[in-house]
Chains A and B, each alone.
Chain A
Amino acid sequence: MSHPGVTTESRLVRMLLIGTAGLIVGLLLLMPLLAVFIEALRKGWEVFLASLHDEAALSAVKLTLTAAAVSVPLNTLFGVGAAWAVTKFRFKGRALLISLIDLPFAVSPVIAGLVFVLLFSPHGWFGRWLEEYDLKVIFALPGIIIATMFVTFPFVARELIPLMAAQGSDQEEAAVTLGARGWQIFLRVTLPNIKWGLLYGVLLCNARAMGEFGAVSVVSGHIRGETNTLPLHVEVLYNEYQFSAAFACATLLALLALVTLGIKSAIEHFTGHRHHGRH
């Protein structure tokens, strides 16, 4: 039965390759994931739960959720608008616009934080003006939200643009000839066709928004209980040698990652379409 076809390898080679791939994925990816949970529970459930009930941890969770709750919807709106503009119309500078949307992927998160410090810190461009009105951006919630928006900017657009480009505009044009108007076309024709891609983009955007570290770290000022997001809280605990607590909080973020991957797999399974994002 195991007669190898002309386009596959002998059984032995296949087993060896599968074993090698398993080893690579196991050592490189699976081991760190397991380590998060093992380290978190090293001192038992009580320490684990206490670390999560800690006030600073709770406020970090709250801040993380708040930042995501603002930045993800805004970037979703942007992503849909940008995808509509560049896939349904041809105009001068379109190719440039598509490249510019990718720009934040090429920017180190640290630099993303830095640019907002330059703009909004007391010595920055708008520093004096902000001070006059007693507004705080850097080392405060607005700065965290803006930095998060910067780094998660392309996710939804990146998912939608290839999808909508591949689908073309035939269905929208058909809707036009049948008398449908602006929002009717989007809500009744376009949206149902892109909903899975949109959901996937939102999911990735959210995962990154909640997990963002570098950019937020630069603008947050690390004020415990005030401007620490969950990833920053993990850092603080780790640097204070509270390893079990750090890993306990890290499990929340790891679970977020697992849920994201799970839903991604489910969407792919459901739609039979594979997403090859680069993020």
Chain B
Amino acid sequence: MSKRRVIPGFGLSLGFTLCYLSLLILIPLAALFLKAAGLGWQEWWRLLGSARVLAAARLTFGASACAAALSAILGLPVTWVLVRYRFPGRRLMDAMIDLPFALPTAVAGITLTTIYAPNGWVGAWLLKLGIKGAYSPVGVFIALTFIGFPFVVRTLQPVLEDFAKDTEEAAATLGAGRWLTVRRVVFPMMVPALITGFTLAFARALGEYGSVIFISGNLPMKTEILPLLIVSQLEQFNVPAAAVIASAMLVVSFMLLLSINLLQRWLDWQKS
């Protein structure tokens, strides 16, 4: 006898959810792993160990980590200002934070390229400093910072909003100066959120495609990211290589998803 339930719709909603999830997400992903697994370990090592894949992996992971780090650094003062101060334009600024979520990546891609190209608004200025913006690893880094920024702000914001001011007041009554209070009381409380935001931005950056491919220039061994490498292997009908690279990326992404879930629990625990 199945368990009785008071609220109706358990079978229908769960059945539909599982079918839909399996058909659209799980079975297709399983197919990818099966395809890649069918090649055997040696083929895996050969494909993943190739110089081109390694170069792309280095760029993808390196630029993603740097971009997530910069997002975290830039996100901190912006979140602080948004939560703690009232000033004209605050609501607009708050709404703007989500722009990278809402703006299609292709649009972000061509726009950032135009701005950071050697003849662009910022690109020309960067060139004078001897930095090549677009069509270089720097370009990849810029695009990924744009993409990752809102993750940091939107993770920090609720934590800072919930942060009890009385803790700060307590620190102040204990004789701590403002800067000391921020450094010793507020900042440590924000570290879990900062790490979570960083990880979210990093995970998103690893898979990012649309905003990067325009600005990167896509030179193999130099400015080629992993998602682009997958696409180019596919276009050359080298399906096994595409499947292997994609599977390896997925494994990394799943591990990141897992750690994000754990981090989220840490955050929830800290809040309660």
| Residues of A within 8 A of B (CB-CB), count | 101
Chain A neighbourhood of B54, CB < 8 A: none
Chain B positions 83-117 with a Cβ under 8 Å from a chain A Cβ: 84-85, 87, 89, 91, 93-112, 114-115
Contact of A125 among B26, B31, B114, B158 (CB under 8 A): B31
Q: Which residue of A lies closest to B26 (CB)?
A: A100
Decide yes or no whether B127 CB sits under 8 A from chain A. Answer: no
Q: Which residue of A lies closest to B237 (CB)?
A: A123
Chain B neighbourhood of A32, CB < 8 A: 103, 108, 111-112, 115, 146
Query: How many residue pairs between the two chains, A and B, have CB atoms under 8 Å in the bound complex?
Result: 292
Decide yes or no whether A14 CB sits under 8 A from chain B. Answer: yes
A21 touches B25 (CB 8 A): no
A110 touches B227 (CB 8 A): yes
Once bound together, how far apart are the Cα atoms of A216 and B4, in whole Å?
44
CB distance from B77 to the nearest CB of A (A): 5
Decide yes or no whether B194 CB sits under 8 A from chain A. Answer: no
CB distance from A78 to the nearest CB of B (A): 5
| Residues of B within 8 A of A (CB-CB), count | 99
Contact of A247 among B110, B146, B200, B226 (CB under 8 A): B110
Chain A neighbourhood of B8, CB < 8 A: 181-182, 185
By secondary structure, the B interface counts as: helix
Q: Which residue of B lies closest to A20 (CB)?
A: B77
B100 touches A118 (CB 8 A): no
Decide yes or no whether A114 CB sits under 8 A from chain B. Answer: yes
State which of A51-59, A128-136, A145-153, A191-199 sits at the interface with chain B: A145-153
Decide yes or no whether A117 CB sits under 8 A from chain B. Answer: yes
Contact of A257 among B74, B97, B104, B157 (CB under 8 A): B104
B200 touches A260 (CB 8 A): no
Contact of A81 among B17, B78, B158, B231 (CB under 8 A): B17
Decide yes or no whether A188 CB sits under 8 A from chain B. Answer: no
Chain A positions 155-188 with a Cβ under 8 Å from a chain B Cβ: 169, 172-173, 176, 181-182, 185-186
Chain A positions near chain B (C-beta within 8 angstroms): 4, 6-10, 14, 17-18, 20-22, 24-25, 27-33, 35-36, 39, 77-78, 81-82, 84-86, 88-89, 91, 97, 99-111, 114-119, 123, 125, 146, 149-150, 153, 169, 172-173, 176, 181-182, 185-186, 204, 207, 210-214, 217-218, 231-232, 234-235, 238, 243, 246-247, 250, 253-254, 256-258, 260-262, 264-265, 274, 276-279
- 9 shortest A-B CB distances, which residue pairs? A108-B207, A211-B104, A213-B210, A214-B209, A6-B172, A257-B102, A21-B81, A115-B28, A85-B13
Q: List 25 A-B contacts (CB under 8 A).
A: A17-B77, A20-B81, A22-B93, A24-B78, A31-B115, A31-B122, A78-B17, A78-B21, A85-B17, A88-B7, A88-B13, A102-B257, A103-B254, A106-B254, A118-B32, A173-B7, A214-B209, A214-B227, A234-B110, A247-B111, A250-B110, A256-B102, A258-B102, A261-B98, A261-B102
Chain B positions near chain A (C-beta within 8 angstroms): 5-10, 12-14, 16-18, 20-21, 24-26, 28-29, 31-32, 35, 74, 77-78, 80-82, 84-85, 87, 89, 91, 93-112, 114-115, 121-122, 145-146, 149, 151, 154-155, 157-158, 161, 165, 168-169, 172-173, 178, 181, 200, 203-204, 206-210, 214, 226-228, 230-231, 234, 239, 242-243, 246, 249-250, 253-254, 256-257, 261
